[in-house]
Structure 1
Amino acid sequence: MSNQTYTKLKALHLSGMAECYKEMVIEREGGVLTAEEVLTLMVDREEDKRVSTKRQRLIQKAAFEQPQASLSEIDYDEGRILDRGVVLRLETCDFIDKSRNIVIMGATGSGKSYLACALGMSACLKLYSVRFTRMRSLLDDLRLASDLKHTRYSKELKKCNLLIIDDWMLSEIDELETQFLYELIHDRELTDGTSTMLC
């Protein structure tokens, strides 16, 4: 019966519960547990597995330029003029819940992109959807996309919790591109729980 239950849990795509069941029942690890304790452990394991899988999917879909970026690696030397308190407040992702936009400014090579990726990574770990793109790539993708693909891509950008646009206004844009950027940012401002980060 034990192996059948394990197989059924796997077939139902409850792999976290299946592994927990295998450890507790099939391999007979641990002492005697009540049915409620077993069920609680299995449900907790399944939830942990699903949250972990969701985090990995969010990180992959975000397409960070620097996926190794971490807020714990930020350098706060005096010459950088980077306020640790501000970064720690941003790490909470409260600005996303309040639909506040963020602009990261600094000289070329000062670490704006790294900081944006680190904040985006923090948001993914808190289960917010994030998209990272360079402004020129964003505009080129939209220009080349078919109408249907363009509409789908635009909707995705408008709905994600945090949109990070790197290299903001680094190159000139034409009237059509200006209109698209205006509509994108305007629509995101009308959507609760979304924030745009420009760097």
Structure 2
Amino acid sequence: MLTTPTLDKLRALKLDALADAFCEQQRNPHVAALSFEERLGLLVDAQHLALHNKRIARAQREAKLRIHSASLAAIDAPEKRNLDRALLAQLGSGAYIREHLCVLITGATGTGKTFVACALGDQACTQGFRVLYLRLPRLLEELHLARADGTYPRLLARLLRTDLLILDDWGLGSLGEAQSRDLLEVLEDREGRRATVVASQLPVEHWHKWLADPTVADAILDRLVHRSYRLVLKGPSKRKDAKPITP
């Protein structure tokens, strides 16, 4: 059998992983002991795995996670950090995303909030969810510009298509009334339809005061707090360590 034309056709069909696996089978004398169905199954598995890995890599790029190395497996969870391993495992299942719930991560600077948030985002990417990481100041800036150039509805629609929206640096700096209302628009769209992770140095009990308009604050907290998991990180700042930041 002439294998070169077959390989050329496989690559033309963009089945490169299958073609590579086929070449590997040709070099492996032990493969001859396998049945046709077994060999075909191995080839299909190789192509399927390659496509799966490409989808994950694309999702991770589109998520724009701040810490690319973050993963649930890399989280250090000693008792002093106040990280519940059982809760982390539960969140790792992705059930909160399917149930459109929120995760509120709070703690002092350097305690690993961003790492945990990005780890949840990375896990969601591996599970096939669409993820987007944004610092809240950047999101508010984008919403302000979108109002000015007429793309506001389009931006809201793009955010709504995101299965998991990660909002970092929540509570950093002051918030105006217009910004509070923009934030409410985003969270109103997502309530009961999409999942949201919030990471903040500010304790949850201080969020109402931070939000400029009391009425809007009530509405925002109602959409975030009552259907959420909470992680309150403790311990000294990890930024004092010489090693890369981990929670």
Q: TM-score, length-normalised on structure 2? A: 0.73
Which residue does 1:144 correspond to in 2? 145
| Structure with the larger strand share | 2
| Larger relative contact order (Cα-Cα within 8 Å, sequence gap ≥ 6) | 2
Per-residue Cα deviation, 1:136-183 (whole angstroms, up to 9, x for no partner): 0111122224334x4443222111111100011222222332222112
- The whole-number CA distance in structure 2 between the counterparts of 1:167 and 1:152 is 24
1:161-180 to structure 2, matched below 5 A, reads: 161-180=163-182
Q: Flag the structure with larger Rg.
A: 2
1:23–1:29 Cα contact (<8 Å) kept: no
User: Which position in structure 1 is the counterpart of 2:190?
Assistant: 188
CA contact (8 A) 2:101 2:192 kept: no
Classify the secondary structure of the residue corresponding to 1:128: coil
Structure 2 equivalent of residue 97 of structure 1: 98
Aligned Cα RMSD in Å?
1.8
Q: Structure 2 vs 1, CA of residues 81 and 12 (structure 1 numbering), >3 Å: closer, same or farther?
A: same
| CA spacing shift, 1:68–1:28, aligned 2, 3 Å | closer
Q: Percent same amino acid among aligned pairs? A: 34
Q: Does 1:51 align with 2:52?
A: yes
What corresponds to 2:236 in structure 1?
none
Q: How far did residue 24 of structure 1 move?
A: 1.9
Q: Give CA-to-partner distance per residue, 1:54-97, whole Å, 9 cap, x none.
A: 11111111111111112233232332222222112111111111
If the length of structure 1 is used for normalisation, what is the TM-score?
A: 0.89
- State the distance in 2 between where 1:22 and 1:155 align: 45
The AA in structure 1 aligned to 2:155 is Y
Give the whole-Å Cα distance in 1 for the aligned partners of 2:74 and 2:41.
Answer: 37
**Bigger CA drift: 7-16 or 45-54?**
7-16
